[in-house]
Amino acid sequence: MIKFDEKTRTFFLHGKEVSYLFRVDEYGYLEHLYFGPKAEDDLSYLNAPSFLSFSPTPPGAGGDFSLDTVRQEYGTYGQGDFRIPAFLAVREDGERASRLLYTGHAFTEGGVPNMPHARGGQTLRIDLKDARSSLTVHLFYTVFDDSDVIVRSASVANRGTAHATLLRADAFSVDLFESDVRAVRLVGRHANERMPEETPLGHGSIAVRSSRGASSHQANPFLALLLGNADEERGECYGFGLIYSGSFVLEAERSQTDLIRVRGGIDDTNFSWELAPNEMFFTPQSMISYSKEGLGGLSRTLSRFLRAHVACMEAMRSRPVVCNNWEATYFDFTPPRLLALIDEAAELGIDTFVLDDGWFGSRNSDAEGLGDWFVNEKKLRGGLAPLIARCRERGMTFGIWFEPEMVSEKSELYRAHPDWTVGRSPRAESRNQYVLDFSRPEVVDYLFGAMENILRCGVGYVKWDMNRHLTEFTSEALPAARQGEFSHRYMLGVYALAERLKAAFPDVFFEGCSGGGGRFDAGMLYYFPQIWTSDNTDAFDRARIEWGTSFAYPLSAMSCHVSACPNHQTGRTTPFSSRGDIASLGATGYELDLGKLTEEEKEAVRGQIARYRSIEPLLLFGDAYRLLDPFRGNYFCMEVVSGDRSRAYVVGMTAHAAAADYPRRVRLRGLDPEKRYFVPSLQRSLTGAALQNAGLLLPRAAHDFETWTWLLEAEE
């Protein structure tokens, strides 16, 4: 619900349990007042004017007023505010200073054109006019009755007769009244994505940023601020995220007066946007949230919101259990080998077979063929038809791998259209491939047509991959003055292709991937119900990756496979049961040669699939609780609880077996203290209160990387 108090000129934005307040001050600036538990009072007294030397007063304001000391809703450059601005534009005369003043507001539709966005809610538009130019800025705020997430975005319009250039237009900016703050970011690298990193926020700024043309393995568009002694289970914290998949930045700055400015949007490292008269620019959407139940409460708030308002509708349906041939065959496969894999998968109860890289063009290695999305008939005699027919005979779905954003120099597409490649020669090379220019509509049209031809053959599942980042940021189709627009236009092209394919093939299940988890973000979840969490399928490493990913995303978004050992990424050997248990915390699948499994392992696969189907509603709709932190000790443990608190599923791992070990316990969370839950390992029932306060003893591990699972059911 949104209310406006005309007397105090205060806006009250109310979510499920939170309020967000800001007002229009006497000079026309937007001042942030409050973000936290529900509030109905006039809180304008919190923004008392304060004079500081070297904090200038803007034109028309009183001598004790400075933008440098005011908590603002959308900071600008110049006029006395020396903090990091959310908005920076250059006029034709070269001036960059701006003053955004309130001119009105209205209720409007949510969403942003041609980009992923949150669905539903009530949206407020605030109209601001730059007192120093003909630019107008609109700030959008969307609130939801069922969530404590507030969605923000902005648009900029040129209402003058001269050109202007945007150098920065953030999705949001807010100044918080806090000082004792720790920042939590998700960082890493390929095969080690979303590792949590906690850093005290001193004076100055701290950021998480990608300039790679993708959200990336190295950074993730999520930032949390923990206040005071807040931890996993208790205390106040704020969360900030972007519904965007390209280059981004989220930054927090502590000022001289201990105000915390947080802002975020498209990374401005190589960004500019030309605004001709009457042109408009829209930012991506951002998500800001508050929790008084620690980082765990914040994660559950974000997960519920993403499932309810951002993720595509397929995210709510039962997931395919996949057999992917990649680690079984790599590029070296024949039709008989694939047919044998399909038969093995069907015998084990797997319902989807996915043919990965190597089926198209001249693709027999990673040095050729990308862009030629037609079947390699020499390699697959009869094309895909025999494979699809065998899948149908066995009651399975046939799936296929694409990497539509890339092109090999050794390909028919590159020879025909070298100008469709991003950048100018000489280009940096990565994995023997270049990036296609998705800022060009003709490139998107070509790829839609090529992929459409394949999908119409009877494909029911698509894995969309992206195996390198952008290293050049120029397009032959853009004039020199607009090259700074390329990265964002590229992302708009990716979204356009995903939108068209989803509309044309509503029954096809799409999974996102980028060398594993290199584009694991809310923007991709708008189109893809799940994302390949990491190329690293090692059970020990995957436990840590899933732990970090759960900070910002629901378990239902994670695609998790059982693979062979020694593991192809780490060389480590872990028990087959452990690989299955860790994979059960997301959409389960298999990435190994099923024909090489022992009879005991095959029976284990059947059991793992049956278990997954029994707990799938928990993973799709339940709340996750992080119990034992694998980054701070020898144990990993996560729990997922159903919405009605009648069922709980727990997965744990002991990383290293210890000599002369002693009993340890874990206390569960999220249960109904009054209900009694049957505990199979004890063959007795305990109250939710006992399970949460006294806990359960961990099983003693006889070997490294042993796991355990508990499925607790409430008694009638």
Lowest mean pLDDT among 43-52, 167-176, 400-409, 690-699: 43-52
DSSP 8-state secondary structure symbol assigned to residue 695: -
Q: What residue type is 394 in one-letter code? A: R
Is residue 358 a contact partner of residue 333, using CB atoms and an 8 Å limit?
yes
- The catalytic site residues sit at 465, 535
pLDDT (average), residues 50-65: 85
For residue 266, what are the β-bridge partners?
A: 248
Measured distance CA(454)–CA(498) in Å, rounded = 15
Host H or E run for residue 185: strand 181-189
SS3 95: coil
Question: In 3D, which of 166, 172, 137, 155 has the Cα closest to residue 250?
Answer: 172
CATH number for the region 628-714 comes to: 2.60.40.1180
Provide the residue ranges of all domains of the chain, joining segments of one domain with +: 2-310, 628-714
Strands (E), 465-600: 509-512, 530-532, 558-563, 587-591
209-230 per-position pLDDT tens digit: 999 999 999 999 999 999 999 9
Identify the pLDDT of residue 460. 98
The pair of three-digit structure tokens given for residue 178, joined into one six-digit string: 């806090």
Identify the pLDDT of residue 370. 98
Question: In 3D, which of 528, 544, 486, 495 has the Cα closest to residue 116?
Answer: 495
Do you find a cis peptide bond into 418, omega within 30 degrees of 0?
no
Total Cβ atoms within 10 A of residue 159: 14
- For the entire predicted model, the pTM comes to 0.97
Lowest mean pLDDT among 179-183, 519-523, 544-548, 566-570: 179-183
Q: For residue 47, what pLDDT band results from cuts at 50, 70 and 90?
A: confident
Output helix, strand, coil percentages for the chain, rounded to the nearest 5. 20, 35, 45
Instruction: Provide DSSP, 645-674.
Output: SSEEEEEEEESS--TT----EE---S--TT
- What are the phi and psi torsion angles at 708 (to 5°)? -140, 155
Is residue 238 a contact partner of residue 294, using CB atoms and an 8 Å limit?
no
pLDDT (average), residues 171-184: 93
- What are the phi and psi torsion angles at 713 (to 5°)? -120, 135
Residue 325, Cβ density class (10 Å: 0-12 exposed, 13-18 middle, ≥19 buried) = buried
316-352 per-position pLDDT tens digit: 999 999 999 999 999 999 999 999 999 999 999 999 9
Q: What is the residue-averaged pLDDT of the chain? A: 96
Superfamily assignment of 2-310 in CATH? Answer: alpha-galactosidase from lactobacil brevis (2.70.98.60)
Is residue 175 a contact partner of residue 146, using CB atoms and an 8 Å limit?
no
Measured distance CA(675)–CA(692) in Å, rounded = 12
Is residue 263 a contact partner of residue 211, using CB atoms and an 8 Å limit?
no
102-133 per-position pLDDT tens digit: 999 999 988 999 999 999 999 999 999 999 99
Measured distance CA(78)–CA(172) in Å, rounded = 18
Indicate if the pLDDT at residue 582 is higher than 80. yes
17-35 per-position pLDDT tens digit: 999 999 999 999 999 999 9
Q: For residue 63, what pLDDT band results from cuts at 50, 70 and 90?
A: confident
For residue 138, what are the β-bridge partners?
A: 127, 155
For residue 590, what are the β-bridge partners?
A: 323, 562
Lowest mean pLDDT among 42-51, 94-103, 644-653: 42-51
Is residue 136 a contact partner of residue 129, using CB atoms and an 8 Å limit?
yes
Host H or E run for residue 612: helix 599-621
626-640 per-position pLDDT tens digit: 999 999 999 999 999
Host H or E run for residue 219: strand 219-227
Identify the pLDDT of residue 46. 87
% the chain with pLDDT above 70: 100
Lowest mean pLDDT among 41-50, 164-173, 274-283, 696-705: 41-50
Host H or E run for residue 343: helix 335-348
Identify the pLDDT of residue 92. 86
